[in-house]
Structure 1
Amino acid sequence: MKKINIITVILVSSLFGLVSCVDLDITPKSVLTGEDIYTENGIKAYVAGLYNHLPMEDFHYDTDNEGLQAGYFVNLNVYSYWNSTGEMVNRNNVGRKRHRPGYWSEGFKIIRQANTLINDLPNYPALADNSRAWIAEAKFIRAYVYFQLAKRYGGLPKIFEPQVLDSNDESSLWVARVSHADTYDFILADLDEAIADMSLTSETGRANKYVAAAFKSRVALHAATTARYGSMKFPDWEVDGVLLEGIPSEKANGYFKQAWDAAKLVEGHYQLHKDNSDKTANYAEVWEKAEGNKESIWIRKYDYTMWAHSFDAMMAPPRMTTTYGDRYNPTLDWVELFDGLPINPATGHFSAFDDNGDYIVYDNCHQLWDGAEPRLRANLLLPGEMVKGGYKVDLRAGIFSQDIDPAVRKFKKFSRDDGADGGNYRSVTLEGQTNLFATNVILNSTADPRTQTDLYEVNGVRIYKNGLDGPKMSNNGGNNTLTGFFGRKHMNIAMTQPQTALFESTQSWIEIRYAEVLLNRAEAAIELAQSGESTYVGTNLLQDAFTIINDLRDRAGATLLTDPTELSTAPGHTNWTKPGTHGIGSFVEAPTRGLQIVRVERYKELAFESKIYWDLIRWFTYDTQINQYRKRGLYSFMFSKGATVDAAGIPDGKYIYDAKNTESGSDRITYPVNDYYEGIPSNELKNNPLLQKNRNQ
């Protein structure tokens, strides 16, 4: 099965040199009906241009920048809503970031172009052999854009014909919004028609039947969960008898079935990547070999002849890039979701202590991670790993003075990890203890970790007090990881430091991969089973979800479920700061334990892919899960006694690990309940009096 590479093609200027007219930026139809367009090559270029302008939240999406299209197609992606979901944080983005508001007119430009193609192609008999497939493809594109709008605004104007301005009556362009449910219904109908008429395979840059089916599983799942959970959050928003925000709950199961059916249709045409027996390396190949594996369903391709991006320069550790860097710091809250780490089952939190309550001492910088879930290992740049042309990752928050023997002296926890305290190591002293930092039992540098000069000498060996790659603590300078972690997903770790510069990265963006489709199917199956429909089209739904989750976990090297009954209706674990049953996976809220298991799996599998943000919105848990939330990190301390130093000056020795809130970027963040829907842009309301406002406008 060919992968779908979204290519950049320079089109004739008429394709997107659009003329603004009232609220929908109408282009005169005569611009698009020339014989240079309605030829086979012209249509291919035209469709490629539509793909090129699709609003994907990829390497060029920045939530703090208007860009060309409300945050889309920005040169440098610094601000991301990955930082607002508990996935990660960076020094430029320590607060809450919403998606960039205002995406409307640019979306309707693309919809108009798709409508023009759908409307006009039947008028060109010479193109009849391919026109049906092209029309189906245009419907897929129209559905993609409408979905991006629907998940922001709810109900939308249904415009399926190219509008023509009547100079004597501008009201001819005014279109009211249809209901939220009707909007999803016409999007799904477009996708059904696309699936029916698209080819089974496609050339580079084109969608096909199974791409459309995969995308339909995403759309239908969003509609289904909106129907099930939206009205539980607040009353649906109805104007003039039209339900604009909210979908009747009785429609939920119908949408869940559509999601399951669409995902099932993809089965056998794509598959999880499992070509490498090394599970860590195999998982990394999902993005490192995105264009060559069988998991990628739809990708946006980057290369020097088309687009390049700056992900490596922006996200790599500062020591390993020529500019910027350090903006990719996964949180401990996310890391704790994975298997193979010392996690307290009563809280779901990291807890590396022995039976006496003393810190466990690890023999070297990588021992803690040796038994961690391979999927996690592939997602992080781990201490001691060689990356970026020979740089060894060096992470350490401080060292114990040389008179401290780890075999003799033991330590109880010396920081608070209660989700509430924002203090730093030097300012917080627990009851009955002395401050190990103020008394120089633990030493750390006040300098930028990359330029430390106050090295600590032990038996003639000079040791960096802090890791050269951080973490950034409150008392040291420079910029580095805030959490003690650097992310790896999407990164080209083979790119050398001199090569790691702005606009030099060409990794492809994976918009849809088969793992997401499987998770869509598993979630729909659990939702249906827990609402009383245990079987569907002859399939035991809990067994189906159980098999899917274990398939994903097996590929990831995670612990397998033992029985479908684990996907139960028992209440989900709650965050340790809230009443209820606490435990593994409690950071991710869910009404039942079965749904929590699949939601945690999504957090682990789809992190840093612009999916989790929209999951929290469609689950309607964003405002309660991310409520007065402080990001947490994991901080390592090395015993200088017995430590060794390699030829590059990087030390290694025995380590302990401490979990706490970050010291920089530790402000609380909360997702406002009124942000689940975006207000209709004010200029659109002004230009189209029939557009109804959303709640709280």
Structure 2
Amino acid sequence: MKLKTIVSIMCASVMFSCTDLDMSPVNVVNEEDLFANEAGTLSYISGMYMNLPLEDFRYAYEGNPPFNYAWTIYAQPSCRTGEAIGRDAAGNEYEAVGYWNQAYSYIRAANLLLEVLPKYASNYTEAQANSFLGEAYFIRSMVYYSLVKRYGGVPVVDKVIDYPASVSFEDTKLFRASEEDTWDFIGADLDKAIELLPESNQKGRANKYAAAALKSRIMLHAGSIAKYNTVNYAPVNGVRVCGIPQEKAVGYFKAAYEASQIVDEGGYRLYMDKWSGNNRQAQIDNFTAIFLEDTYETIFGRYYIDPEFLHQFDNSAQPMQTSNGDNNSEVCPTLDFVEMFEFDNKDINGKFENFDDNGHYKLYESPLDAFENCEPRLAATVILPMSEFKGETIELRRGILTGKSVNTMGALLKESDNYSSNYNVAVDENTVKLVNSFSQNNDDSYLVQLKSGSKYWNDLADRYPDKKDIYAGKMRRSGASGPVSNWDYGNLSGFYLRKYMNPDPKALNGGNYSSQPWIEIRYAEVLLNRAEAAWELVSLGEVADAKGESYLSIATEAINSIRKRAGATELSSTLLADEKSRDIIRTERRKELAFENKTYWDLKRWRIIDTEAEQKDRKYRILCPFFSVEDDAYFLDVKYTEPRSQNGVTMEPYIFSFEPRQYYQKIDPAEITRNSNCRQNQGY
């Protein structure tokens, strides 16, 4: 490289893309000052880790670019997949297009280290130099993965392009590589990372097994594209920038399977320290702890530091009643998601069963009773209605039924109808008492009188002892966390998220105060990658691995180890090479990795997000707890997500769709304009 100056990535990176280079350095330092000693290189590579495109607590798909977003995130990624709904995620929303150029600045930073560091190898031990080089390969692979899974084939740049010293401007206008070649380049980078990285490293830095685990994920993704994708787009010189030949699938799935086996050598395993086979609460506590404690299941993560580097996830996802007046309720799990888990209260189709044999609502002392003895992993993932969090009972109630018993009636409404359209808040004679907002809910004039002797007579009075005389025998129409009828803060679905949420009542949660680490890769995912790759290999005619072990037996063992830890029912027989077994593996993945921002890409790589009842002009189902005054008990209604209105205008319809063209996302048009060799994806 002729230039003897570089740009410190922690301050400003030289910006390169397939379209052009911005060669205006902001903080120019001599390469010797940076790479000639361990401290300088460590500082440089720390900046590379800071810029990793992780879809973590600071990932905002509406941001431009979406990664490492430092402000409040309203629309959460899990609200695009059916896992949850949120106040500000109304459907039909896609990622912003401005990431491409930023990604190539990160690639340039990795290329720079890979080129320059060997010149100063004598200043390092062999282990030190190899570790830094391995980390650069690992980081570069993650950046390219963030590109290829969005756009298909992209320009593959494996060296610093020294414009204008060594190349012309025309030479910077690169063509997109084929999608196959792009995935293969990433795989080769990870092979180098596995070779060079140490077996252990500091928290937040990659080691050999993190590279192997990442390879298992990425090669599984590539195999899925080869098998399930149908797009064949080759706009220039016959290079297929979108799509992979189907015959390549076996090789990718084998690479994923074999990479997962390497991880086993590192001592990682499913976290079980708090687990007990005969103690359901211990199983709940064990799964909860994975995301709040530093465990041996974590393979690679991002660690936040108080007060220098924090996030706002608690602020966004917390229940209404634990909020200090800032944000809340942006992640409300759907009933469709909850129904994936095991619990008794289901019909033969696996749907929540809220009516008895006579067609009347089932009655419960608490809505929580409907989930008695549910799969412990569900209770550790979701705050169920009226369960405990931060020392409080999370009160979720849609309204109150007065004047009649549920035993004299059928359903309040059809699933597709809206309560607020049929029970006007202003009409006092309504049997169903609702509120439009929390200001109404907290207005004493909207209180509902309970029957004498009610089990709930003192509940509200005990919560507000200074108003005991007013609140005794009364109940607010909606719960302390909602839901209400109009657009407002508060719950939307009858559930809240527990996974990753800080349960400490004293923890600050009104902004950038959260410091839980983001677990990017954990051992459970490696097992799920292995199970899926094994099944896919069998579906393509393979039977056993290189050791002669049955792929289906290995897949079954992996799924059962996950289920055992979750407190779910283990498979009683070996998985088969049929779609039912495939869907068992996929559902297990969706349950285990829920709210870890993996599901969206799983649905995309399986090519089902637009067709198989996932997101095609779809509304998701919610659970609405109601209290019956006459029965002195709760009943649960099932609805589609209600539109939210403000001043009579519908603001959030909550209808979700996915356009098939979005399997390959739109490249920033500015990049296409600058470079005639870089063609846009189809449909844009």
Q: TM-score, normalised by structure 1?
A: 0.86
1:284 corresponding residue in structure 2: 288
Q: Secondary structure at the match of 1:622?
A: coil
Q: CA deviation at 1:593?
A: 1.3
Query: Are 2:554 and 1:532 equivalent residues in the alignment?
Result: no
Which of 509, 519, 539 is 1:500 aligned to? Answer: 509
Alpha-carbon distance in 2 for matches of 1:628, 1:36: 53
Cα drift, residue 693 of structure 1: 2.8
CA deviations on 1:489-545 (whole Å, 9 max, x unpaired) are 111121437x22111111111111111111111111111112221212212111111
CA drift of 1:189 comes to: 0.6
Which residue identity does 2:413 align to in structure 1? S
Q: What is the CA–CA distance in structure 2 between the aligned matches of 1:447 and 1:171, rounded to whole Å? A: 60
Aligned to 1:661: 640
Superposed displacement of residue 32, structure 1: 5.4
Rounded Cα–Cα distance in structure 1 between residues aligned with 2:478 and 2:156:
58
Cα pair distance change 1:97/1:80, threshold 3 Å: farther
- Quick one: distance in 1 between partners of 2:20 and 2:286? 48
Moved more, 130-139 or 253-262: 130-139
SS of aligned partner of 1:493: coil
Deviation digits for residues 199-223 of structure 1, max 9, x if unmatched? Answer: 1111233211000000001110110
Mapped partners of 1:222, 1:438: distance in 2: 57
Residue deviations 1:5-62 (CA, integer Å, cap 9, x gap)? xxxxxx9956542344662445779745132432111111111111011111111111
Q: 1:80, CA displacement in angstroms?
A: 2.5
Q: Distance in 2 between matches of 1:201 and 1:342?
A: 46
How far has the Cα of 1:560 moved from its partner? 1.9
TM-fit CA distance, 1:425? 2.6
Q: Are the counterparts in 2 of residues 26 and 109 from structure 1 also a CA contact under 8 Å?
A: no
**Cα distance per residue 1:87-122 (max 9 Å; x no partner):** 111111122222332211111111111111111122
Change (3 A) 1:159 1:230: same
State the Cα distance separating 1:658 from its structure 2 match. 1.4
Instruction: Name which of 89, 96, 99 aligns with 1:93.
Output: 89
RMSD between aligned alpha carbons? 2.5
Q: For residues 186 and 27 of structure 1, what CA distance do their matches in structure 2 show?
A: 29
The one-letter amino acid paired with 1:461 is G
The reply on whether 1:257 has 2:254 as its aligned counterpart is yes
Conserved in 1, the CA contact under 8 Å of 2:89 and 2:654?
no
Q: Percent identity over the alignment?
A: 35
Q: Flag the 1:381–1:172 CA change in 2: closer, same or farther, 3 A.
A: same
Q: Which residue of 1 aligns with 2:586?
A: 599
**CA shift in 2, pair 1:659/1:514, >3 Å:** same
Residue of structure 1 aligned with 2:117, choices 102, 121, 125: 121
Cα 1:104–1:32 shift into 2, 3 Å: farther
The equivalences for 1:368-407 within 5 A come to 368-388=370-390, 390-401=391-402, 404=404
DSSP-derived class of the 1:205 partner? coil
Report the AA paired with residue 551 of structure 2: L
Equivalent-residue separation in structure 1 for 2:88 and 2:123 (angstroms): 55
On the 8 A contact 1:341/1:350 being kept in 2, the answer is: no
Q: Which moved more, 1:211-220 or 1:359-368?
A: 359-368
SS in 2 for 1:377: helix
Amino acid at match of 2:86: N
1:46 to 40, 44, 66: 44
Alignment correspondent of 1:432: none
Match of 1:442 in 2: 432
Distance 1:641 1:151 in 2: 56
Residue matched to 1:17: 12
Mapped to 1, the partners of 2:24 and 2:488 lie a distance apart of 51
Amino acid at match of 2:447: L
Whether contact under 8 Å (2:8, 2:29) holds in the other structure is no
Q: Are 2:321 and 2:394, in contact at CA under 8 Å, matched by a contact in 1?
A: no
Distance in 2, Cα, partners of 1:528 & 1:452: 62
**The residue matched to 1:287 in structure 2 has which SS?**
coil
Farther-moved stretch of structure 1 (98-107 vs 46-55)? 98-107
Q: Is 1:465 aligned with 2:467?
A: no
Paired residue secondary structure (1:603): helix
8 Å contact kept, 2:150–2:664: yes
CA distance in 2, matches of 1:693, 1:660: 41
Q: Which residue of 2 aligns with 1:309?
A: 311
Paired with 2:70 and 2:28, the residues of 1 have a C-alpha distance of 31
Shift of 1:598: 1.2
Asked if structure 2 preserves the Cα contact closer than 8 Å seen for 1:164 and 1:173, the reply is no
1:617 equivalent in alignment to 2:617: no
Give the alignment's TM-score, normalised by structure 2: 0.87
CA change 1:400–1:305 in 2 (3 A) is closer
* Counterpart in the other structure of 1:582: none
Tell me, in whole angstroms, the C-alpha distance in 1 between the residues paired with 2:7 and 2:512. Answer: 25
Distance of aligned partners of 1:241 and 1:674 in 2 relative to their CA distance in 1, 3 Å threshold: same
The yes-or-no answer on 1:511 pairing with 2:520 is yes
> CA distance change for structure 1 residues 111 and 518 in 2, over 3 Å: closer, same or farther?
same
Question: 1:472 is matched by which residue type in structure 2?
Answer: V
Q: 1:627 is matched with which residue? A: 616
C-alpha distance in 2 between matches for 1:507 and 1:190: 30
Q: What aligned pairs does 1:37-76 form with structure 2 within 5 A after superposition? A: 37-66=35-64, 69-76=65-72
Contact 1:62 1:100 in 2 (8 A): no
Q: 1:365 to 1:113 in 2, by over 3 A?
A: same
Give the whole-Å Cα distance in 1 for the aligned partners of 2:541 and 2:181.
Answer: 25
1:259-278 matched pairs, under 5 angstroms? 259-268=256-265, 269-276=267-274, 277=276, 278=282
Mapped partners of 2:504, 2:441: distance in 1: 21
Unaligned runs of 5+ residues in structure 1 are 1-10, 430-436, 570-591, 644-653
1:223 alignment counterpart: 222
Q: How far apart are the structure 2 equivalents of 1:32 and 1:661?
A: 61
The CA deviation at 1:243 is 0.7
148, 151, 156: which is aligned to 2:149?
Answer: 151
Contact kept? 2:7, 2:13, Cα under 8 Å: no
Does the CA-based 8 Å contact 1:298-1:510 persist in structure 2? yes
8 A Cα contact 2:234 2:240, kept in partner: yes
Counterpart check, 1:331 vs 2:340: no
* SS state at 2:474 partner: strand
**Secondary structure in 2 aligned to 1:156?**
coil
Counterpart mapping for 1:190-269 below 5 A: 190-231=189-230, 234-268=231-265, 269=267
State the Cα distance separating 1:160 from its structure 2 match. Answer: 0.8
Matched, 1:366 2:368: yes
- CA distance in structure 1 between the partners assigned to 2:10 and 2:473 by the alignment: 66
Following TM superposition, by how much is the alpha carbon of 1:627 offset from its aligned partner in structure 2, in angstroms?
0.3
What pairs up with 1:132-143 in 2 under 5 angstroms? 132-143=130-141
